[in-house]
């Protein structure tokens, strides 16, 4: 058990820390960073660095922007650290660092998600900008300093960026709270329904045990020789036994309703989605191929995670794509998908085309097999009696 949990932890760690996975998971942040880099490079083109310190500061600033792709807090702090260095050691003219500062402000406030962090960040940026501002009354500011108008413009941009970051975080928190309230409501309804069923089952249990006790008492009286009315006794036994049977069936019905509720809640939508997807693929296959796909739902006991469902559907797409390219037409293909408990099982068999060669280690299928392994699933690929057999066992949670 501990070994399996260690494997799960290492798998989630690898997925979380993979650079490409981070870029795909946070597409909006990736787009913002690319736009910021593009505007910064345009500033470099129009206003190149005057000396080596200005160039080094610009490179450190760009590195901080790129670092925000994976670590927004650390990247924002690194951009701010560059600005602090510029306060202590003024540099010559060069490209504007306003765009990176705005991105850092917005991302930091969005990541922290608190009003106090927005206020602290705003006052810190205000102090940094004031230290870089020339308060000379002449029109031309001191070298390495900003004019009052420039400082006011930069502060207004930083404030707008923080406001946008704070508003996006508030909107996301509100959406999450609504979703959590809905889930809590579903859990409460399930709990109330289960408690009601348990209460009713307890009443039925008491009634059934009472009837059985009465019948046992009649049997004991008959065995010890106590005289009783045989007709009335047997009528009573028959009546109580029928009552006990009906109540026992009701308990079974309650348990069946519970299981049907679980299956309906977790399995119906997924089964319908997979059946529709397979049906479309069946129709799109070349006419030379014949066969069928079957989706069987034996009842899921967990709610499938989106990532696992996406891995399942993409694997189905890849298998159909391989069939269209490499499958032979001498025998019909068979695709079986089974949903049961907390997993999905796929079994595909199709004839091998003698004029084509299918590499079991193809790039497309290799990618999906690695994904199955990362999700703690298993797969196997075999060729037997002229048929290609692929099977996969994929956990849904």
Predicted local confidence at residue 8, as pLDDT: 44
Structurally, at CATH architecture level, domain 268-395 sits in: 2-Layer Sandwich (3.30)
Name the pairing type of β-strands 291-300 and 333-341.
parallel
Mean pLDDT within 249-276:
64
For the whole model, what pTM was predicted? Answer: 0.45
- If we measure between CA atoms, which residue out of 351, 392, 384 comes closest to residue 368? 392
Q: Which residues are paired to 277 by β-bridges? A: none
188-219 tens-digit pLDDT = 776 777 777 677 667 666 767 777 777 777 77
Which of helix, strand or coil describes residue 388? strand
Count of alpha carbons within 13 angstroms of residue 72, beta-carbon side: 21
**Residue 136 pLDDT level (bands cut at 50, 70, 90):** low
Predicted local confidence at residue 346, as pLDDT: 92
DSSP 131: H
Report the run of H or E that residue 344 belongs to, with start and end: strand 343-351
Count other C-beta atoms under 10 Å from residue 71's C-beta.
13
143-170 tens-digit pLDDT = 556 677 777 888 888 889 888 888 888 8
56-70 tens-digit pLDDT = 888 888 888 888 888
Mean pLDDT within 174-194:
73
What's the CA gap between 171 and 177, in Å, rounded?
A: 10
What's the CA gap between 91 and 282, in Å, rounded?
A: 67
331-358 tens-digit pLDDT = 889 999 988 888 899 999 988 876 655 4
285-340 tens-digit pLDDT = 888 888 889 998 877 777 788 888 888 988 998 888 888 888 888 888 999 998 88
- If we measure between CA atoms, which residue out of 183, 182, 186, 242 comes closest to residue 211? 242
- If we measure between CA atoms, which residue out of 302, 304, 322 comes closest to residue 368? 322
**Which structure tokens are listed for 212?**
């059985």
369-394 tens-digit pLDDT = 888 888 889 988 888 878 888 999 99
Predicted local confidence at residue 10, as pLDDT: 42
Phi-psi region of 144 (alpha: psi -120 to 50; beta: other; left: phi over 0): left
**Residue 237 pLDDT level (bands cut at 50, 70, 90):** confident
Cβ atoms of 107 and 68 within 8 Å: the answer is yes
CA distances, 109 to each of 157, 251, 261, 386 (Å) = 14, 55, 43, 61
Cβ atoms of 162 and 106 within 8 Å: the answer is yes
């Amino acid at each position: 058990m501990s070994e399996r949990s260690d494997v799960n932890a290492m798998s989630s760690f690898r997925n979380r820390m993979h650079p490409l996975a981070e870029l795909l998971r946070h597409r909006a942040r990736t787009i913002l960073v690319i736009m910021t880099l593009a505007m910064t490079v345009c500033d470099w083109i129009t206003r190149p660095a005057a000396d080596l310190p200005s160039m080094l500061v610009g490179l450190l600033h760009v590195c901080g922007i790129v670092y925000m792709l994976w670590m927004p807090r650390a990247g924002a702090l690194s951009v701010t650290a560059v600005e602090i260095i510029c306060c202590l050691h003024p540099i010559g003219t060069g490209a504007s660092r306003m765009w990176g500062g705005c991105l850092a402000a917005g991302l930091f406030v969005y990541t922290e998600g608190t009003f106090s962090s927005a206020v602290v960040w705003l006052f810190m940026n205000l102090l940094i900008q004031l230290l870089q501002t020339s308060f000379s009354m002449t029109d031309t500011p001191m070298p390495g300093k900003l004019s009052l108008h420039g400082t006011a413009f930069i502060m207004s941009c930083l404030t707008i960026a923080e406001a946008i970051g704070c508003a996006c975080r508030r909107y996301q928190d509100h959406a999450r709270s609504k979703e959590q309230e809905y889930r809590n409501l579903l859990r409460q309804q399930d709990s109330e329904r289960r408690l009601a069923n348990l209460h009713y089952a307890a009443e039925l249990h008491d009634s059934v045990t009472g009837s059985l006790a009465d019948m046992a008492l009649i049997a004991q009286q008959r065995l010890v020789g106590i005289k009783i009315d045989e007709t009335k006794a047997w009528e009573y036994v028959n009546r109580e036994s029928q009552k006990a049977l009906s109540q026992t069936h009701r308990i079974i019905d309650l348990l069946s309703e519970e299981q049907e509720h679980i299956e309906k809640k977790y399995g119906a939508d997924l089964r319908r989605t997979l059946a529709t997807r397979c049906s479309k693929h069946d129709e799109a296959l070349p006419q030379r191929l014949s066969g069928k796909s079957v989706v069987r739902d034996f009842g899921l006991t967990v709610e499938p995670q989106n990532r696992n469902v996406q891995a399942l559907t993409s694997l189905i797409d890849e298998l159909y794509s391989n069939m269209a390219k490499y499958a032979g037409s001498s025998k019909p293909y068979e695709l079986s998908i089974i949903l049961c408990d907390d997993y999905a099982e796929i079994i595909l068999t199709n004839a091998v085309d003698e004029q084509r060669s299918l590499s079991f280690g193809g790039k497309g299928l290799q990618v999906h097999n690695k994904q199955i392994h990362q999700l703690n699933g298993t797969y196997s690929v075999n060729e037997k009696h002229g048929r290609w057999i692929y099977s996969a066992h994929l956990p849904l949670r």
